[in-house]
Amino acid sequence: MKFEAVDVRQTASAADIVYETLRKAIISGELAEGAALRQDQIARMFNTSRIPVREALTRLEQHGLATSQRYRGTIVAGLSIVEIEEIFEFRALIEAEVMRLAVPDLDEVTLETARRHCLEFDRETDPGRWSDINRRFHYTLYEASHRPYYLQTVGAALDRIDRYLRAQLTFTNGLMRAGREHEAILAACIAGDAERASRLTRDHVLDAGRSLVAFLREHRGA
Amino acid sequence: MKFEAVDVRQTASAADIVYETLRKAIISGELAEGAALRQDQIARMFNTSRIPVREALTRLEQHGLATSQRYRGTIVAGLSIVEIEEIFEFRALIEAEVMRLAVPDLDEVTLETARRHCLEFDRETDPGRWSDINRRFHYTLYEASHRPYYLQTVGAALDRIDRYLRAQLTFTNGLMRAGREHEAILAACIAGDAERASRLTRDHVLDAGRSLVAFLREHRGA
DNA sequence: GATAGAAAAATAGGATCCAATATACAATCA
DNA sequence: TGATTGTATATTGGATCCTATTTTTCTATC
C-alpha cells in the first residue's frame, strides 16, 4: 500500500479565514468603498466571536484596504484619483525593473506558462476574471527575477487598485489593447531583450493607469 | 479669564502604545531578532490585558517586523543577507526616483532644514541617533516629491533594515562617507540638478548596502 | 542511562462580559 | 418651528474566562 504524508496541521485560523474572505471581497469591489465593516455583523456571518474579526480588520487596515477610527468603526478604504495615479506610477517603476531582472532567468517552461495565460486572457469573456489572469500572466514572468520583496510591494499595490480596474473592464467590456501589449512583452522575453521587455512593461502599466484615470474622471466627476 | 480649547479626544489606544513601543524596540535592535514576544509578559509590562497586545503583534507581523506561528507564538523577525541586499536595491530604486521628482519642488525653507539635518548628522557623536537623523535628512528632501505612497514603502523598507545599520554604525563608529555623500546630494538639490541628485542618492543607498552586507558577512559568517 | 509515553505547565486562540464612546432620537424650551 | 439638551441605543476597546495546542517535565520501562 502506497501512501503519502499529509500535513494535517490546521494552518488557517478563524482570523485567517475572515481576513482572506474580506480581502477578496474588497479587492474585487464586492464590498464598495466606504462600506461599514461592523464587527458584530461580520462575526455573525462567520459564526465566530468578534475577536478574530477584529484581527482580520487590523490586518486589512495595515494593508491599506480599510481605515478605522477609534470607537467609530472600520470602513472599506477608497482611493482618490491622485492616489490611484501615484500607485500606477509606482507599479510602472517596480514592474519595469522586475521585468528587466527577470528576462535573463526565464526558462522554456516559464515562457510556455506565460504564453498559456496570455491566450487565456484573450479568450476569457467574463470581465470578473481578467484581473486575475492578468496578474497570473505578469507574475509568472516576474517570479523569475527572484525578488520576493519587490513582488510583495507590487502585490499590495495591485490589491489597492484591482477593484477600479475591474469596474472599468466590466463597464467598457475590456480594453483589447492589453492583449496586444501582453504579446509584445512576451515576444521581448522570448527574444531575451530585457530592456525592451522592461520598457514595454512600463508603458503597459502607465497606459492602463491613464486609461483608468480617464474612465474614473468620466464616471465620478472631478 | 482667557482660555483655549484643547482637543481632549484620546487618539492613542492601548494597542497603539504597545505597537509603537514594540516597533521602536525592534527597529532599534533593542529587541534582538528571534526574541520571543510573549503576549502575557508584554501585557504585564504595559498593565493591560492580552487583547491590545495581540493587536499590536498582528500589526507588527503585517509589517514584516515579527513572524508568528499558530499556537506557538510570535518572534522578532530577522532578515537573511540576501533579503537585506534586496531591500537596499529596492530602496535605491525608489529613493532615486523620489529624489528626482522632489528636486523641482524644493524651496528655500526645505533646503535650509535639510542643511541643518546634514550638519546635525556630522556633529552627532551618539551612534544610536545617526539612523534617525539620516532618515530625517532624506525625508525632508523626499517629501517635496509629493509621493506619500512611495514614502510609505520606503519607510517600511527602512524599518526592516534599521537595526542592522545601527549595529554596523555602533560597531564601526560610523562611516564618515555618508556625511560627504549627504553634502553632495544637498549640493545637487541646491543646483536644481535632479538627475545628479537622483544618481547620487542611488549610489548613496547602494554604497550603504554594500558596506553593510560586507560588515554582516564578517560578523555572522557565511 | 536512554527512550517512550503520560501528566503537567505554558501559551495562544476564541468567547463572553464590562466599560468607554459615539450616534440617534425624543423631550424641552425659545 | 428650530435649536438644544438629555436619554437610549449601538458599537467599539479592553478584561476575564475558557479551550485548543504545544512544550516541558516526570515517570515507567528497557
- Amino acid (one-letter) located at B71: Y
pLDDT per position as a tens digit, A28-50: 999 999 999 999 999 999 999 99
Residue B82: exposure state from Cβ atoms within 10 A (0-12, 13-18, ≥19): exposed
> B18 CA, C8 C1': separation in Å?
32
Look at residue A187 and give its three-state secondary structure.
helix
Nearest protein residue to the C1' atom of D23, measured from CA: B72
A50 beta carbon to strand C: under 7 Å: yes
Residue B171: per-residue pLDDT: 84
Question: Min CA distance, B2 vs chain A (Å)?
Answer: 31
CB contact under 8 A, A55 and B59: no
Measured CA distances, A92 to A97, A139, B43, B52, B85 (Å):
8, 14, 43, 38, 22
Residue A100: per-residue pLDDT: 98
With bands split at pLDDT 50, 70 and 90, how would you rate the model's confidence at A9? low
Residue A7: per-residue pLDDT: 55
Task: Report d(CA B171, CA B163) in Å as an integer.
Answer: 12
Residue partners of A86: CB distance under 8 A and separation at least 6? B147, B148, B149, B150
> A199 CA, D18 C1': separation in Å?
59
Q: Of B39, B149, B153, B206, which to mutate for an interface test with A (greatest number of A Cβ within 10 Å)?
A: B149
Residue A175: per-residue pLDDT: 64
What is the average pLDDT across B175-193?
88
Is the pLDDT reported for residue A4 higher than 60? no
Residue B118: per-residue pLDDT: 87
Is the pLDDT reported for residue A5 higher than 60? no
With bands split at pLDDT 50, 70 and 90, how would you rate the model's confidence at B6? low
Is the pLDDT reported for residue B35 higher than 80? yes
Question: Chain A contacts of B13, Cβ < 8 Å?
Answer: 70
Residue position matching grid coordinates 459564526: A47
Residue A52: per-residue pLDDT: 97
What is the average pLDDT across B2-10?
60
Which residue of A lies nearest to B98 if distances are taken between CA atoms?
A: A90
Lowest mean pLDDT among A69-73, B1-5, B13-17, B159-163: B1-5
Question: Min CA distance, A57 vs chain B (Å)?
Answer: 10
Is the pLDDT reported for residue B53 higher than 70? yes
CB contact under 8 A, B97 and A93: yes
Is the pLDDT reported for residue A11 higher than 70? yes
With bands split at pLDDT 50, 70 and 90, how would you rate the model's confidence at A124? confident
Domains and CATH numbers, chain A: 14-76 (1.10.10.10), 81-220 (1.20.120.530)
**DSSP-derived pairing of the beta strands A73-76 and A36-37:** antiparallel
B32 beta carbon to strand C: under 7 Å: no
Task: Report d(CA A61, CA A41) in Å as an integer.
Answer: 18
pLDDT, mean over chain A:
91
What share of chain B has pLDDT > 70, as a percent? 93
CB contact under 8 A, A55 and B55: yes
Residue A216 or B10, more confident: A216
Is the pLDDT reported for residue B144 higher than 50? yes
Q: Of A50, A58, A83, A84, which to mutate for an interface test with B (greatest number of B Cβ within 10 Å)?
A: A58
Residue B128: per-residue pLDDT: 79
CB pairs under 8 A between A and B: 51
